[in-house]
A and B are shown apart, each in its own frame.
Chain A
Amino acid sequence: MGVIDRKRKNLIIMHELCNGCGLCEIICALEHEGYINRACSRIRTTGGLRPFPQICLQCDQPLCLENCPVSAIERSASTGLLTVDDERCISCRCCVITCPFGGTREDCEGRMVRCDLCGGEPECTAYCPTGALSVSTVQDAAGRKRRLFASNADQCGDWD
C-alpha cells in the first residue's frame, strides 16, 4: 500500500446539498472547452429526483493508472493530482471501464477526461448555488458532514 497523502485537497461534493441544477457542468465545460456542452464536462450529475454529481475521486491507489496499457495516466509531482497525457493516450477506455466510480469519461471528441480541479482552484465551486461543491481535505469534509448530520439529523436525505 502506498503513502496516503492526508493533506491533499480534493473537490468535495456534499450530495445532500445538490439540487441537480447542472450549473457545475455548464461552468466546467465552459472552462475547459470554451463552449457549453454538458457532455464535455468533467463533473457529471446523474439521477433525476436524486441528483448525484460524480467526479474523479483522485484515488490514492488509482485503478485507472494501474491498468493503463500505455502509462498515459500519471500523478503530478506538483499538485498530486491524476492527469491524462493526451499524446500518449490511445483511447482504449480501460480507465473508464476500471474506474468503479465513473470518474473518468469520454468526452465528445473521444478524449478521456477527468476532473483536474482546474489546476487547484475549481471553477465550479464558485458557482454552486447550494454550496454542495468545495475544496478541502477528506478529513475536513468528513467533519463537515458530521456537523451537518448532527444539526439536521432528521433531514439528512432518505437512506432507503
Chain B
Amino acid sequence: MILKQVQGCRKEISGIPIGRMLVVDLTNSEWHSMAIDSETAAGFLGGRGVSAYLLARRCGFENRHAEPALFSPGLLTGAIPFGQTALTTFSGSKSMGVLSLQGLWGGELKMAGFDHIMITGRSDTPVAVKITNGHIAIDDAAEIWDQDCRATGEQIRSLEGDQNLQTMVLAGPGGTGSGSMETLNDLFTVKKLKAISVRGTGGLKIFDIPGYKKAIREALLLFAGKHELNNCVIKPGREQVDITFSAGRQIAGDPPFSGEELQIILDCLGFARAPDIESMISLIYSITGRRYSAEDLAGAVQRIMLAETGGTWE
C-alpha cells in the first residue's frame, strides 16, 4: 500500500524523503495524517514531485470539490539555506499551478514531523491552523483576518509567545480575494484560511556530516561568485541573491537537463543552486543517504511531468 492513515507525526526526524502528510479538512475541522511509501516519495524526489503524485492519484482526498492545496517542503529543505517549499494547488478540475515559497517555514514543518500538509475544504469562519510538534489546532482567526501579512505573523508569534514560530500567511487583509479562484489569495480567501503556523523542536539528522559539509562548501563557491551557472554569476551581499536560468541552457551532466527539467528537479529538492549535477547528487546523498544517479533524476522528472499533465507512468 502506498498511502495509509497513521497516527501523528514522524517520531524520528530525518531529512530523508519519508512522506508523512498531514491532511486538514477545514469543512469538518478535522485532521489526520497519512504515510506515503518511502520508495514512492523517493521516486518523485520530494516537494513538487510528491505533491504532483498525490494530486494526480487523488491521494488524501476523493471529493473533486475538496480543493486541495498541498504544501510540500523539498527533499533538502531545512538542511540547506534558501530551501524552498513547493505549493501546488488543485481547484475543481483545474490545477492552479506550482509555486516555490522561500523562508524557514518548510524546514520548520519537517522538524515538526510532517513532510506535506494538504488543506482541503472550506471553513465557515476565518481560521488559522497551528502545528506544534504533531499537535494540531484550528483556531479562530477573526481577530487577524483584516491584518496584512507582516502584522499577522507578528501577532500570532506574540500571542503564542514564541518568536521561533514560523507563519505562512495565505489570505490577504480582510479576505481581499476576488472570488474568481484565479489566484492563491482567492483560494485561501474562499477557504477562509488566514495562516498556517508551525513550530518544530525536532532536529534534521544528516546522514553523512563530513560529506554534507564538503558538499556545502562546494555549493558556497557558487554563492561566492566563483562558479558560473548557466552564465549567471551569483553576487553575494545584502541584496537578494539574483539568479536566473535561461530556458534551454543545460548543466553539464549525463544526461543533460533542459532549463525546465532542471527547475522541476530544484523545486523537488528545495535547493536552488548547485554548480553541477554531481555536486547536487553528492549533497543529496550526504543528507539523505540515498544516492541518485543522473538517470534517476531524469526518470523522476519524466514521472513528475506526466503527473502534472495528467498522464500515467509506470
9-residue interface stretch from B24-32, B52-60, B78-86, B299-307: B78-86
Known: A22-B81, A26-B81, A30-B209. A35 touches B241 (CB 8 A): no
Question: What is the number of contacts between chain A and chain B, taking CB atoms within 8 Å?
Answer: 73
Residues of A within 8 A of B79 (CB): 26, 36
Which of B209, B217, B238 has the most A CB atoms < 10 Å from its CB? B238
Question: Once the chains bind, are A26 and B80 in contact (CB under 8 Å)?
Answer: yes
Residues of A within 8 A of B82 (CB): 21
State whether the Cβ of A137 lies closer than 8 Å to any Cβ in chain B: no
B162, closest chain A residue (CB): A39
State whether the Cβ of A66 lies closer than 8 Å to any Cβ in chain B: no
| Bound-complex Cα distance A93 to B206 (A) | 31
9-residue interface stretch from B119-127, B178-186, B196-204: B196-204
Residues of B within 8 A of A38 (CB): 104, 107
State whether the Cβ of A157 lies closer than 8 Å to any Cβ in chain B: yes
9-residue interface stretch from A12-20, A55-63, A77-85, A113-121: A12-20
> Could you give, for residues 1-44 of chain A, a 1 whenever the CB lies within 8 Å of some chain B CB and a 0 otherwise?
00000000000000011110111001101100111111110000
State whether the Cβ of B160 lies closer than 8 Å to any Cβ in chain A: no
| Bound-complex Cα distance A17 to B79 (A) | 22
State whether the Cβ of B205 lies closer than 8 Å to any Cβ in chain A: yes
* Band of interface residues on B: 20 to 34
| Bound-complex Cα distance A94 to B195 (A) | 34
Within 8 A of A (CB), among B209-263: 209, 212-213, 216-217, 220, 223-224, 236-239, 241
State whether the Cβ of A69 lies closer than 8 Å to any Cβ in chain B: no
| Bound-complex Cα distance A148 to B241 (A) | 21
Residues of A within 8 A of B78 (CB): 36
We find that the number of chain A residues with CB closer than 8 angstroms to chain B is 27
- How many whole Å from B287's CB to the nearest CB in chain A? 9
Known: A36-B78, A38-B104, A130-B236. A19 touches B203 (CB 8 A): no
**CB < 8 Å: which of A18, A127, A157 contacts B220?**
A127
State whether the Cβ of B164 lies closer than 8 Å to any Cβ in chain A: yes
Question: Once the chains bind, are A19 and B238 in contact (CB under 8 Å)?
Answer: yes
Question: Once the chains bind, are B104 and A19 in contact (CB under 8 Å)?
Answer: no
| Bound-complex Cα distance A33 to B224 (A) | 27
Question: Once the chains bind, are B236 and A35 in contact (CB under 8 Å)?
Answer: no
State whether the Cβ of B169 lies closer than 8 Å to any Cβ in chain A: no
A50, closest chain B residue (CB): B238
Listed by A's residue number, 16 A-B pairs whose Cβ atoms lie within 8 Å are: A17-B238, A19-B239, A23-B81, A34-B203, A36-B15, A36-B78, A36-B107, A36-B203, A36-B205, A36-B206, A37-B203, A38-B104, A38-B107, A127-B213, A129-B220, A129-B223
Task: Taking A26-B79, A37-B111, A39-B201 as given, write out 9 further A-B residue pairs in contact, using a Cβ cutoff of 8 Å, ordered by the A residue number.
Answer: A17-B238, A22-B81, A23-B80, A26-B80, A35-B13, A36-B15, A36-B79, A39-B164, A129-B224
